[in-house]
Structure 1
Amino acid sequence: MIALPKLTTHRIPAKIDTGARTSSLHATEIERFQRDGQHWLRFLLDIGLGLSEPVVCELPRVGRRTVVSSNGEGQDRFIIKTRLRLGKTEFAAEFSLADRSDMKFPILVGRTALRGRFMVDSGRSYLQSDAAERKRLLK
């Protein structure tokens, strides 16, 4: 479970994927707009779990790049940067915006965000979640 404190107060289930370079965030209804001469994005963040309604988010656009998905297809995606909290560590991370509605996790945390901060134990799950979250999620 991770937090995106600039976007929502809810903790969000995330998949750690060291095979993915870029982190990805489930976003729908993405709109581009200008604010103070900068490129911004407005999108809906739906964290699932029935915890809340989708959150309308507005952030500066960091860029746009082609991301190759697990099926080998390239997609042109918008990139944003926001704060990510994993366990007790909080840092700025870049996310590509994508419709992940067909995925189990609304967020994928890639190796660029993890590099130099974490060691991944591929045989364990929810190590950075508290005991109550682990119990609920591992049922």
Structure 2
Amino acid sequence: MKTFDQLAVIGLREWINLPELGMVGLRGKIDTGASTSTLHASDIQPFDRDGEPWVRFTAHFGTQVQRRHPCEAPLVTVKSIKSSNGHIQTRYVIRTLLALGDRAWSVEFTLACRKTMRYRVLLGSKALVDGQLVVNPALTYVQDKPQLSLPSGAQ
């Protein structure tokens, strides 16, 4: 059997931070069936800053007590996402730093309404590949809670 020593193991759910957005203590659900990661957002408004496209939105997190957090981020693109039931939705895409355990790396997130979903953040397969992670779906919260401050060497 092959082993992958350079890859970190994570569980089906993990604590994450999005430090560039000022968001800590998010419960993320790992979704290997999704290519792109998703962040629950509302009030999404594109705008220009110094001639560059940006997006302003309200991020939502917390499971028992809902918290709203105003955010702004450079807009990467707008893409069409096809759900598992075949529904196509146009979504704004941002790129921001994700901290999970002792690692931090840049991840693309689509912004979408997830108010009916238990988890406000989904981590898709592209984020897992870029973070050099493997998933053991029998485990949850394997990694320690990440710190808000940026780890040394984070990009």
Normalised TM-score (structure 1): 0.87
Between the aligned partners of 2:85 and 2:141, the Cα distance in structure 1 is 26
Q: 1:127 aligns with which of 134, 138, 142?
A: 142
Q: How does 1:97-108 map to 2 (within 5 A)?
A: 97-108=111-122
Q: Residue 82 of structure 2 corresponds to which residue in structure 1?
A: 68
**1:114 counterpart = 2:135:** no
Q: 1:6 aligns with which of 1, 20, 32?
A: 20
Give the counterpart letter for 1:125 in structure 2.
Answer: T
Task: Confirm or deny: 8 A CA contact 2:107 2:127 kept in the other structure.
Answer: yes
Return 5+ residue gaps in structure 1 as ranges: 131-139
Deviation at 1:8, TM superposition (A): 2.2
Q: Count the aligned residue pairs.
A: 130
**1:89 counterpart = 2:97:** no
Q: Which has the higher contact order (CA 8 A, sep 6+)?
A: 2
Q: Percent identity?
A: 40
**1:78 counterpart = 2:92:** yes
Do the aligned partners of residues 126 and 84 (structure 1) sit closer, same or farther apart at CA in structure 2, a change above 3 Å counting? same
Give the counterpart letter for 1:4 in structure 2.
Answer: L
The structure that is strand-richer by fraction is 2
Task: Confirm or deny: 8 A CA contact 2:93 2:110 kept in the other structure.
Answer: yes
Normalised TM-score (structure 2): 0.79
Task: Confirm or deny: 8 A CA contact 2:63 2:119 kept in the other structure.
Answer: no
